[in-house]
Amino acid sequence: MRRVAAFLYLTHTLGVLALCFLGPYRMVDPGFGDLPYFLLLAVHLSWAIYLLLPSKGQNSGVLIWFVRLPEVLLSLTLLLFLFSYIYALNANMDYVQRFMATGGELGLAQDTSLERRLTFIRYGPLLSAGIVVYLIQRMYHRAQLRKIWSNSASVPTWSAIIQMWSFPLILLSASLTALAFPSSVNLDGIALLAFVSLVPLFVVLRVVSYGWGLFYGVCFGVFANLIINYWLGPYSLVSLQVTIIVFFLFYLFFMIPAVWLYRRIRRYRFLVLPLAWVIFDYLRSMGFFGYPWGFLGTTQYGFLPLIQMASVTGVWGVSFVVVLINSALSETMLGLALLRGPSDGSAGAGSAARVMAGEGTHANPLRPLYISVGVLLSVLLLGSIYLSLDVYENPLGPRRSVRVALIQQNSDPRKHEYSSSFSTLRELTDAALKHRPDLVAWSETAFVPNIRRWSKEDPAVYRLARLVGEFTTYQKSTQSWLLTGNDDYDLVIDEFGEETRFDYNAAVLFSPGGSREATYHKVHLVPFTEYFPYKSELPGIYDLLLKFDVTFWEPGAVRSVFRHPLFNFCTPICFEDTFPMDIREFVLGGADVILNLSNDYWSLTEVEAKQHFIGSLFRAVENRRPLLRSTASGYTAYVDSAGRLVDGLPFYEEGYLVVDVNLESTGLSVYTRFGDWFPLACVIGLSTLLLICFMPRYRKPRHRK
């Protein structure tokens, strides 16, 4: 078997290595970006050579490593293959081709189809060898592995089967989780899958050793989020790489304590991972690395009775319920299997129960499921009662509303010709003005030229100054309040008289008379692609980002709330509307309406736009404030304060949406008042479970000989 595996690895590795330098699809000028691929080839080659060396015998420990290491190789190969296949989307981008033509350090083919063909050629043989070796090993050593992993009669045979096929189960869990979100398979997402997608993961974590539990947990996190966030490929030349690295670190730091607690805490074990998952989601949404995308709770955006709890707990409570159902199902399945005893009929069912479930496991394996279903039904009942009494939908007195026109020009302002985009904006705005809106809202950087700067320059000399002059003239002619995304800047002069310029991604509000009433500078910038605060500490990474054509902004300092004669509103820009705590601060500052300005055109896929939308929808429910979204293209829409989609525009079409926004308010929601109390409660709950497991009453008793 060793020689068969060595032959497969050796021939496939040498074959693709030859293709890289000798074949018609050879790498013309391998660069830094190809280093991971060549390292992967080196690891495959080293493993093949090791397998050819004389074996000194094969005890159980050697056999386990002999079987497990191909799993690691297969996971690395699959990860790099998926990354390369997704990253190939950049090959069709005009700006990427210009970047490479001007000396940019990036090696891609001239189009996506060719780059993806190269990906299959370079990774296909390695993947096929890995899969064949994986399957042959498990069939050839099946009896030995079952005996080792089932520990004779101590653990049921089915646990050995789970260990044998852990990697496919993890990939299944990652795939089901990704499909629960909007995807290319189903744009709405298959929300029901979220309630079962983690079951394979949790079962594996219960059965395998602690070290392999960390490996499988990290594999799940990286693969699931790579599939969910595949659209990041063309966002920038570094975003997908950064996402993989960041999520690897996220899940590594999460799984180290989570898996330990899951294996250590035996009483009410089914609560451990739901509590830990909420804490993890909360922590990964904070700080410079904050990326609040892919929360499991957001998959339930269409399940209105369930998501009403977000006004109390935030989105964290919805995620808790979803993970709780998964955990209860996995615990119930394992509990029922343990009661049945080993599947081969051997003795030791009682010992199996002690080993697998531990002291303190509920006598009734259905109890976790009863509790979790009870929690779910209670939440649904309360949510349904709220919806039936919703004062926003059924006001007791006369309605108070404001009419807003949302403009979707269906172009990427930064990559299309500025005057052409402005012409489209004017045409759509003129049509919308016939409905006499109180406010017209354009998207993020809908008008790109810096209005503050170019209004001071001579329009007879500078083209951008002329375009800004046309904008100000047009805006005055509308005799309407106009909100637009725009570049902005500040000039700061230090004590030595040196001038420093700070550039911002901004939202600007103009009055009907043409005066600039207020400006908001985006506070929460996208890490690595909009903002990198460690220029001095990590100059190498900063220079590398610049080489890959990254443009940086300065973060704003104030979460401004705009004052309109009829209402107050905030303007979170782009992915700021996915941060629960940030939007809460806007509402505490007096915002009656959340008006998000975004540009999702760049992704060229409806999937990213829909995922962005479902994440932002929860800000309306959490704060009981209506949500408006004005996008260059993405999902321009109006969501009421209960999370109902009132109206929206089709993806990737020019258009405008005029909506009458209901301003009825009953004050601040529980979430707005008290913030992220639920993750803190999860910390307290998890700490309590940990303390209980150390109490003498619940410790595992020592058996006398």
Active site residues: 444, 522, 574
Return the DSSP state at 605: S
Among 408, 444, 441, 409, which Cα is nearest to 575's? 444
Distances in whole angstroms, Cα of residue 156 to Cα of each of 170, 333, 336:
21, 13, 12
Amino acid at 238: V
Angstrom distance (rounded) from CA 27 to CA 625 = 54
Angstrom distance (rounded) from CA 25 to CA 89 = 18
What tokens were used for 170?
């993890």
Question: Sheet harboring 645-648: ordered strands across?
Answer: 561-563, 568-570, 593-598, 627-631, 637-639, 645-648
Angstrom distance (rounded) from CA 44 to CA 13 = 7
Contacts for 396 with CB less than 8 Å, ≥ 6 apart: none
Give the count of beta carbons closer than 10 Å to the beta carbon of residue 29: 6
Query: 541 near 245, Cβ under 8 Å?
Result: no
What tokens were used for 299?
């998959």
For residue 659, give the H/E element and its range. Answer: strand 655-662
Query: 355 near 154, Cβ under 8 Å?
Result: yes
DSSP for 278-313, please give it.
HHHHHHTTSSTT------GGGGGTT-HHHHTTHHHH
Amino acid at 460: A
Contacts for 334 with CB less than 8 Å, ≥ 6 apart: 203, 206, 356, 357, 365
Query: 506 near 485, Cβ under 8 Å?
Result: yes
Helical pair 315-340 and 606-623, crossing angle rounded to 10 deg:
100
Contacts for 146 with CB less than 8 Å, ≥ 6 apart: 157, 160, 161, 164
Among 615, 414, 636, which Cα is nearest to 529's? 414
Q: Is 595 helix (H, G, I), strand (E, B) or coil?
A: strand
Angstrom distance (rounded) from CA 430 to CA 435 = 10
Angstrom distance (rounded) from CA 487 to CA 557 = 16
What tokens were used for 492?
């700061």
- Cα 364-365-368 angle, rounded to 5 deg: 105
Give the count of beta carbons closer than 10 Å to the beta carbon of residue 344: 12
SS3 content of the chain, % helix, strand, coil (to 5): 55, 10, 35
Phi, psi (deg, nearest 5) at residue 112: -65, -40
Measure CA of the first residue to CA of the last residue in the chain; give whole Å: 42
Query: 562 near 520, Cβ under 8 Å?
Result: yes
Angstrom distance (rounded) from CA 638 to CA 620 = 10
Query: 430 near 679, Cβ under 8 Å?
Result: no
Q: Is 695 helix (H, G, I), strand (E, B) or coil?
A: coil
Return the DSSP state at 461: T
Among 495, 363, 509, which Cα is nearest to 438's? 509
- Cα 484-569-580 angle, rounded to 5 deg: 100
What tokens were used for 457?
């320059």
Angstrom distance (rounded) from CA 327 to CA 270 = 5
Residues in the chain: 705
List 487's β-bridge partners, or say none.
505
